[in-house]
Structure 1
């Protein structure tokens, strides 16, 4: 069995319309939060920057939340602009829904693992594991990992997952000998 691991190489871009230039792409850059205190209430925003015009926008993370409702480590992460807190916040599907954006994972992940040697004994079983929740279509991932076209990869594999739907869950597939 061959192990393949899908890893995030950077944070994904956001598909979010810029108010100034109407571009559809934004980034978190180094990842910064803005925390605003109003008495005993806090507002927390994640700052994002337009890729085209550099305009900064805010994504609402918490609005009018009491200070006591925060875990101290979480609050410290917001104040310190902790990269792990930025990633966890950005990858939260509730944040994306509330702020009306989607994530663009193009070029933000890599596949680690030995390529199957296509001259070895058949069949070859490959186990795919995701280190981060990177949504990738299995057919594209398998074709990329095998160095084959998608059609050729689909002809040569046996798999129990839906190949044309993005997944973030691990799966196993078997590569059959070319017929």
Structure 2
């Protein structure tokens, strides 16, 4: 069995309309949080910047949350602009739904596939793992990883999962030998 991995190379862009220039792309840049205290309640925002006009906007992470409801390590992460916490919040589907944005993964990921797979005994079983929820069509990913055309993928690949449906979780497939 050959292991493949889909890994993030950078944080994805956000598809979010800018209120100034009406552009559809924003970025988290270096990834910064803003924490505001109002008595014993905290507001936490993730700051994003428009790629076209550089306007900064805020995505609500927590709104009017009691200070005691925060894990101390998480609160320290917000204050220190922890990059792991930035990525975790940005990839959270609830945050995306609440703030009405989608992620644009174009150019933000890579496929780590070992070469020399043709030396394996046929048929070859491949296991694909995703480090982050990158939406990609398995058919396209397999074609890129093996250097096959899409028609050759249809002929030589056997899989339990539909290859034409976009996925963001792991799957496996079998490469059959040439007839």
Residues 10-58 of structure 1: CA deviation (Å, up to 9, x unaligned): 1111000111111111110110000011111110000001111111110
Q: Quick check: 1:12 aligned with 2:12? A: yes
Q: Deviations over 1:110-166 (max 9, x none)?
A: 111213544764221111111222222111111110112222212210001121222
For structure 1, the 5+ residue unaligned runs are none
How far the C-alpha of 1:177 sits from its partner, in A, is: 2.0
Q: 2:119, 2:74 → 1: CA distance? A: 51
**What RMSD in Å do the two structures reach over aligned CA positions?**
1.4
Structure 1 residues 159 and 116: alpha-carbon distance in aligned structure 2, compared to 1, 3 A threshold: farther
Alignment of 1:2-151 (within 5 A): 2-115=2-115, 117-118=117-118, 121-151=121-151
**1:52-102 per-position Cα deviation (integer Å, ceiling 9, x unaligned):** 111111000011111001000111111000000000000000000000000
Aligned to 1:78, the other structure's residue is in SS state helix
C-alpha distance in 2 between matches for 1:89 and 1:120: 40
Contact 1:130 1:170 in 2 (8 A): yes
> Per the alignment, in what secondary structure is the counterpart of residue 166 of structure 1?
coil
Unaligned runs of at least 5 residues, structure 2: none
> Residue 19 of structure 1: SS of its match in structure 2?
coil
Matching residue of 2:153: 153
Moved over 3 A (4+): 115-121
Q: Secondary structure at the match of 1:84?
A: helix
State how far apart, in whole Å, the 2-side matches of 1:134 and 1:65 are.
Answer: 30
Alpha-carbon distance between aligned partners in 1 of 2:115 and 2:146, rounded to the nearest angstrom: 6
The 3-state SS of whatever aligns with 2:57 is strand
Measure, in 2, the Cα distance between the counterparts of 1:44 and 1:124: 48
**Equivalent pair of 1:2/1:116 in contact (CA under 8 Å):** no
TM-score, scaled relative to structure 2: 0.94
Number of residue pairs matched?
179
